A and B are shown apart, each in its own frame.
Chain A
């Protein structure tokens, strides 16, 4: 297992290197002059050249890339062309919001998706099965921004149950320690903030989870259908084991292997900054800042943000692969 993990970590570094190169080249070859874009309309050509030099864009491309890599290894992703703040601190200010939303979404997706998939499999071809699979398909097919706006209209406008935007009501003070508001409000014992944060995260998390829920439900269903037809399940039932125990003690672990793969991929996508959801709900995560930075050609910010997301994506999938060995003892890595 140790050797396997080491091999995978080396592969992770290689992936990050390739990703960084691709991002670097795409950004630098896309039309648009970052120096000119960062200045106003009355800026002179001399101003633009001066700012270009300050940005380090007058160096050859290979020099710029190597400089970026050297600094990245030391955890220095440079300074944003626009905010003039270190990219890492800018990202760390926004990343907890994305992480919190992603975690909440995946919890919802897992809770609803796995349970729905299990019930659908156990009650195959029932009304519940057909209905849930149609809803799952709708969840995957409907545009996220549309779902978000509809939910806002229903729960925020019509019923007034949830707020429209943000992570926390502006009137509430919360001491931010980790940037994860739910966690921070628990450890600071701020119940008002906890309730408010949960109200704020409910709709965006549910909206973001619709695609994942649909996918997880369908995967769980098909995987469970396969597992419950196995001989050992029939044996367990024949021995008089209760249905819940059959499902949760005997079948679920094997059912989860493909589901865990899907969850890993989905979580990575969620962390990628669900731009549309963040925009609709004004959720201050990194998705929005990535889009804005691309449009502005804020190279350090784009490179830093995408590298961070790539790292997390690959790391999560590594953890998923390692977890297989714990879910299914038959799987062993050299």
Chain B
């Protein structure tokens, strides 16, 4: 025993323990894996991989399941599981010819019967199938018939020029899954423990909170993919995900933080992809309650906002100055509408307020009947990029014209309740035109009484145009309808488009063949790793 009272046995124990610790903690580890394995860093985990999924699933499903018709990188329709389609003269019947020789991953044949089951199942008309959360997109379907083994006839309740767009927008609702596997696993376990489609990669497993794996489908109808495996790694924190990309722990980051893009572009090990997406951030104003119920007040607020300055200083690389109400490739978008977006003009803003009865009392705050003009702008905390930052910027602009503007940050559930109750004075939020058609955005934001119309907007002419635009089959007429609709909504100042969002994806240099899709969804069929 030494002076510290430590026995020989105790000393020996600590020596051995220390050696074990050192040997178990190598400072370098060489773990190799198959060359063609792509590791994708994802910012969110899906709740399920079926029609009841949350929006995150849209980034996973295209890897394994397919649509009948695919909106390509320009949001134009391309044959996928359907090779051609015709619309009847009355606009109510769609005849689709299906691709022959396609099989689901389990070997079950893809045919008209499978499509019929999928569509009717997504509408909640079949036992054992899941009614999709976005089934409203195809609820115009009256009947689906398998005319022959590779021909499907879809009859609508009424004509709809938006139908094809809506029917090929949501992977969760209208992607074609294997009816046989759904029956085998049951609707609750299919989409969690199993997924079976016709896509280039098969479902390889899901470790909750951690990874979702897909394996090469060697028999894919459009050619064997180059990648052997895709592993989606769930890394929610933006900084951690970026570090993982820079260190090579992941090969692709689906959502780069905007303030890092300039730096990342200079990194010789990375490629940065920036492309305009179908999502636009808007500033909305209540048309029924509070001071913004007055159109002149709304117009004043719209003129008080310097959109160019916001895009330059707040949004940066992740957005562009709006060219209209919607991203230019969405059907119904028109760059001519840019001139109807209220231009930054502080003098005009003050004049409009004055015309509405709000005058500066000399203390920098405008008042009417002795009461100051008080409003609250509501936003969430980066549920969509820059929503909060833009709201803060707008708050400052409004203060400059004498408005006492407060800000309230809320979470998603409270936000949806506020929209439904039209209880917010003003709010910022981004909507993605996932269908590639104007009906989706305009119909959800401007339709009277709709739960996502948080402004209470109900201009009768606009309501009429929404219905007409949906029903009209003639392309030229639809475009004119949507032009008029958007022009009126901008003149009414119910919403102000602030920026068209960019999709920003980062990859390691050795990832080849990747392209950014405006929907933000990844497509890996042509991607390979070249180290």
Contact = CB atoms under 8 A, between A and B. Distances in A.
Contacts of A62: none
B249 A164 contact: yes
A296 to B, nearest CB: 7
A97 interface: yes
Given A39-B133, A165-B235, A170-B231, A30 B209 contact: no
Contact of B210 (A44, A90, A166, A196): A166
Contacts of A248: 5
A33 B213 CA distance: 33
A282 interface: yes
B247 A160 contact: yes
Interface stretch (B409-417, B489-497, B507-515, B522-530): B409-417
Interface residues of A, number: 67
A242 B249 contact: no
A289 B52 contact: no
Contacts of A297: 413
A82 B54 contact: yes
Interface string B1-43: 1111110000000000000000011111101110001010000
Contacts of A94: 208-209
A165 B414 contact: no
Contacts of A282: 210, 233-237, 240
Interface residues of B, number: 65
A297 to B, nearest CB: 5
A125 interface: no
A241 B47 contact: no
Contacts of A97: 209
Nearest to B42: A282
Contacts of A296: 47, 54, 412-413
Contact of A164 (B26, B213, B231, B247): B247
A280 B135 contact: no
B446 to A, nearest CB: 13
Contacts of A196: 29, 31
Contact of A32 (B48, B208, B416): B416
A279 interface: yes
A84 B244 contact: no
B192 interface: yes
A42 B134 contact: yes
> Which among B131, B233, B240 has the highest number of chain A CB atoms within 10 Å?
B240
> Which among A40, A157, A296 has the highest number of chain B CB atoms within 10 Å?
A40
Given A163-B249, A288-B236, A198 B52 contact: no
A47 B52 CA distance: 12
6 contacts: A40-B170, A40-B172, A84-B48, A164-B240, A170-B231, A281-B240
Given A40-B133, A242-B4, 8 more contacts: A47-B135, A170-B39, A171-B31, A199-B25, A242-B2, A243-B3, A280-B240, A288-B236
Give the 5 A-B residue pairs with the shortest CB-CB distance, closest first: A32-B413, A284-B209, A42-B136, A242-B5, A40-B134
